[in-house]
Structure 1
Amino acid sequence: MRAIAIALLAGLTTVGVAAPAAQASAAGRAPSCLAYKLDDRGAQDELWVWNNCKKAVNFRVRLANGPDSYCTYKEPRSTYSKFTWEWPQRFDGLITC
């Protein structure tokens, strides 16, 4: 009975560890029709993102050395969204969410 309890606990631990990996793989690279312009010349970087896609897109700005942005919803052909961050954070791409 004790061996069964240990095996069950081990199985629960494995499931708990695997769940975040599954969530991380659900987010993929944003479509190429989601256009952006990056100005990273100063201590504060600025990014403008437009949706040139034929459908709405949910995306995040992925940053190295800092937290990613919140999930942003953009209608097709809508005006840009602007994002800013400071060094040492660095633009690492757009991902879907």
Structure 2
Amino acid sequence: MVSRRVVISLLATLTGAALVLGTGGPAAAAARAGNAPGCIARVVDEQPHGLIVWLRNECGRTMRVKVVISWGPDGPCATLANGQSREWTFKLGSYDKTVTC
């Protein structure tokens, strides 16, 4: 039998997660969208003047993607046609991931 303390702890954890993911902010939208697929090529290059992130769409169809930065502002949601690439420069933070949007 599971102790009452474990059940209450589990319920509190699940409730907290639901509150975080249930917010309507941009972070929640990125979390719902999910990681970009592997057909989005990524090159991340740290330079003295900032972080450069280059993405190329090799998915065979148009994709909407966004660069997520830890400890800094995320990039905007961008539409990339098949074969199209784009580059972003960030002054603050480090690369976290690329998500669909």
User: Taking structure 1 as the reference length, what is the TM-score of the superposition?
Assistant: 0.71
**SS of equivalent residue, structure 2 residue 36:** coil
2:77 pairs with 1:71? yes
Moved more, 33-42 or 17-26: 17-26
8 Å contact 2:66–2:74 — kept in the other structure? Answer: yes
- Output aligned runs, 1:1-97, within 5 Å: 18-20=22-24, 23-78=29-84, 80-87=85-92, 89-97=93-101
Q: Superposition RMSD on alpha carbons, in Å?
A: 1.9
Q: How high is the sequence identity, in percent, across the aligned residues?
A: 27
* Unaligned residue ranges in structure 1 (runs of 5+): 1-16
What is the aligned residue count?
Answer: 79
Runs of 4+ in 1 over 6 A off after TM superposition: none
Larger Rg: 1
User: Taking structure 2 as the reference length, what is the TM-score of the superposition?
Assistant: 0.68
CA distance in 2, matches of 1:72, 1:23: 14
* Unaligned residue ranges in structure 2 (runs of 5+): 1-18
